[in-house]
C-alpha cells in the first residue's frame, strides 16, 4: 500500500498512463498481484489520478476500500481486511517456583555449600558461567518447591 506515483489507465479508466504506471502494472501482473483501489486518490483542478494503491495476492482478504479526502493533495485510502483469528485452544502447563513456601535457610545453606569452584577448571568465561548457572539451578531445584498449573 502506498503512493506509487505511476498512472495506469488499466486501473482507473478515466486516467492516463505513464511509463512508471505501466511498469508497475506489468510488475503486478507478473507477480499475480491485484490492485484494489478503483477511484482517484489525487485530485487537482486539472486532473484526477490513481496513485495510491493497495496491492494484494489475496483479494478475498479485502472486505472494503474507501477513499477519504485527506489533508494533503492525496486522499486517504482506508482498507478493511477480513481476518479470522482462531482462538488458541491448546492447553499449557505453567511451571514456576513457589516462593511462598521456600525454606530460605535451607536455600542459603545449599547455595553456600554448592561447589562453584569446580567451574574454574575451564578457561572460557562462557564455560565457567554455564557451570555456575547449572550449580545454582540445581540448588534452587532441590530446595524451592515447584508448582504447576494446567
For 5-26, how does the pLDDT look when each residue is reduced to its tens digit (9 = 90+)?
A: 778 888 888 878 889 889 999 9
Parallel/antiparallel/unpaired status of strands 76-81 and 48-49: unpaired
Q: What is the mean pLDDT of residues 106-122?
A: 93
CA angle, 94 as apex, 90 and 99 as ends, to 5°? 165
Number of folded domains in the chain? 2
Residue 87 inside a domain? The answer is no
Q: What is the mean pLDDT of residues 68-87?
A: 86
Query: pTM for the whole thing?
Result: 0.53
Query: Which residues 6+ apart lie within 8 Å of 62 measured at CB?
Result: 36, 54, 56, 79, 80, 81, 82
Residue that terminates a domain, selected from 81, 115, 133: 81
Query: Which residues 6+ apart lie within 8 Å of 66 measured at CB?
Result: 77, 78, 79
77 and 7, same structural domain?
yes
Does the pLDDT at position 98 exceed 80? Answer: yes
Per-residue cell: 32:
499475480
pLDDT at 1: 67
Tell me the residue range of the domain where 45 lies: 2-81
Q: What is the mean pLDDT of residues 41-61?
A: 87
Output the average pLDDT for the chain: 89
Amino acid at each position: 500500500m502506498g503512493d506509487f506515483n505511476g498512472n495506469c489507465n488499466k486501473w482507473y479508466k478515466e486516467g492516463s498512463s505513464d511509463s512508471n504506471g505501466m511498469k508497475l502494472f506489468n510488475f503486478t501482473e507478473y507477480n499475480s498481484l491485484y490492485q484494489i483501489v478503483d477511484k482517484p486518490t489525487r485530485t487537482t483542478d486539472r486532473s484526477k489520478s490513481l496513485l495510491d494503491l493497495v496491492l494484494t495476492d489475496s483479494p478475498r482478504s479485502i472486505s472494503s476500500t474507501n477513499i477519504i479526502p485527506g489533508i494533503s493533495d492525496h486522499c486517504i485510502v482506508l482498507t478493511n481486511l477480513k481476518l479470522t483469528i482462531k482462538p488458541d485452544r491448546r492447553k499449557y502447563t505453567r511451571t514456576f517456583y513457589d516462593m511462598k513456601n521456600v525454606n530460605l535457610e535451607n536455600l542459603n545453606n545449599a547455595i553456600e555449600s554448592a561447589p562453584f569452584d569446580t567451574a574454574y577448571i575451564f578457561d572460557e568465561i562462557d564455560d565457567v558461567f554455564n557451570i555456575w548457572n547449572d550449580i545454582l539451578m540445581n540448588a534452587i531445584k532441590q530446595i524451592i518447591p515447584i508448582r504447576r498449573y494446567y
